[in-house]
Amino acid sequence: MDYKQLAETILEKAKSRGADMAECNVSRETLTEIDSNTGEIQLVRSVAGTNVSIKVITEQRKGTISLNRTDEKSIDEALDHAFKNAKESAPDPAEGISDEQHNGTFQGGKLEPDRDRLFALLDRLLNDVQKEFPHLKLETATIQHKREDSVYTNTNGVLHQTAYGINMITCMFSGNDGENAGSFNYFGIFIPDDCENLLELDGVRRLFGEAEKQVKTETIGEETIGDVVFSPECFTTMLLFAKHILLGDLPLISGTTPLKDKLGQKIVSDKLTWRANPLDERFVLNQHVTNDGYIVEDNLLIEKGVLKNYALSRYGAKASDGKRSGNISDMYVVEPGERSIDEIISGIKRGILVSRFSGGQPASNGDFSGVAKNSFLIEDGKITKALNETMISGNLIELLQNIEALSSSQHGDGARLVPWAQVKGINVTG
């Protein structure tokens, strides 16, 4: 099927029905997946689907609809619904579509799945884990190839076409020595084309090793401990919260973020330089078009502690009188610090290392509280024992203000690069 033609036909129909503005996204996704449970490969899954998303705007009223059919009757019915939805919506002056711009065609990754390679990589991982990590239970390991072909077009003459193919491995696992079971942990990592051994991917051996050590844990008691070292994965979790609660569309539009009107001001530690840059060449896969139809640009959020930009979509910018961001993705790059993680840990008298934060979304003022999962005690510069039932709480802004050190190495899942972070002033209770 010619998706470009379909998208353009839908736009023409929308215009002829009287839309002031309209946009359409047609995408086709195909997924090839191999699943294992407790070390046994049990399922091969193939998913194919087409998705059509339509937005029409009449007199500043928006109507949207999504469907997974492409026949003319279904499209016409969907347009009927979209216009009906628009009619029933309240007028919103912030509504609109992406502006006229240079149109782009982008392609990335291998578009066709190699099922034999996927099987071989997964099979090797299961065998290697059995040999190298005898006390690890790999509850699920799933390898997949995902292809997405997409066309975005709108009545301002914007037309972007993308085609991406990417391989990914996700695992959920825990330590288990036959008598004791540890906390589970998980990861999802994009696989580079030249990868022959999934154990060699950044962080995999470390996370499996940590899980094995979590089989026997101790409590730290009631004592509050000063320093918390966040693993790159866990620090990423805190950054995701910070973006969502403090810098995104919703908190800026509703005015709930304490960082409203703070652009250009120093708000956190000058050790932090944080950007969202889906175009970073070190990533396994790049993203070139935003969900609202703009060519992606680098978005520098915080530079040396100074708030440079929010993470605002076109709509968010209009609705909050702000400036649209170059992208609002979660593909982060955080600049590294000067010392290695080993050096950072060696300088800590007493603290904890946290690999996973188990907690809900923080409150709108940034307060957070949750369990420090897969965590370890640091005493006199050394990791001494695995911990259980340890809670951490604080405030996201204060957390970023109290960064003591960032590691000299950056780590990530193929779509992020984030260092380890040492933070002071987090409440820790056993």
Partner 1 sequence: MRGVSARVRKNGSYGFASDSEYSEASVKRVLELASTNAGFLNERKPLERVLSDRRSAVRNDDGLQASEQADTQAIMSFMTELDEHIKEKYPKLQTRQLVYSGLTMEKLLLTSDDVWSHTLTPRAILVANFFIESKDGSMIDLYDVLGGYGYFSDHFTRVDLLHEKIDELYENVSKKAEGVYAKGGRHTVILDADLAGILAHEAIGHTVEADLVLGGSVAGPNLGKKVASELITLVDYANEAFGERCPVPITVDDEGTVAKDAVLIEDGILVNFMHNRETAAQFEHEPLGNARAYEYTDEPLVRMRNTCIVPGKDKLEDMIASVEDGYYMVGTNNGQADTTSEFMFGVNQGYEIKNGKIGKAIRDTTVSGVAFDVLKTVSMVSDDLIWTCGGMCGKKQMIPVGMGGPAIKCELNVGGR
Binding site for partner 1 (CB under 8 A): 34, 37-38, 40-51, 66-69, 81, 84-85, 88-90, 115, 119, 123, 137, 139-140, 142, 172, 174, 176, 181-184, 222, 254-256, 258, 358-365, 367, 369-371, 373, 388-389, 391, 393-394, 427, 429
Shortest Å, Cβ 388 to partner 1? 7
Shortest Å, Cβ 21 to partner 1? 20
Q: What is the DSSP string of 190-207?
A: EEPTT---GGGSTTHHHH
Shortest Å, Cβ 182 to partner 1? 7
- Cβ closest to partner 1, residue 135 vs residue 350: 135
- Cβ closest to partner 1, residue 214 vs residue 290: 214
Structural contact between residues 195 and 234, judged by C-beta atoms closer than 8 angstroms: no
Shortest Å, Cβ 357 to partner 1? 9
Shortest Å, Cβ 330 to partner 1? 18
Helices 72-88, 3-16: crossing angle, 10 deg rounding: 50
Q: Beginning with the edge strand found earlier in the chain, give each strand of the sheet holding 306-307 in spatial order.
A: 306-307, 299-303, 274-276, 332-334
Shortest Å, Cβ 84 to partner 1? 6
Place of tokens 């889906």: 278
Number of residues assigned to the chain = 430
Q: Determine the residue type at 173.
A: F
- Cβ closest to partner 1, residue 236 vs residue 273: 236
Q: Which of 54, 63, 59, 56 is nearest to 88 (CA)?
A: 63
- Cβ closest to partner 1, residue 104 vs residue 226: 226
Q: How far apart are CA 184 and CA 379, in angstroms?
A: 24
- Cβ closest to partner 1, residue 93 vs residue 360: 360
Structural contact between residues 389 and 219, judged by C-beta atoms closer than 8 angstroms: yes
- Cβ closest to partner 1, residue 43 vs residue 346: 43
Element (H, E) at 167: strand 159-176
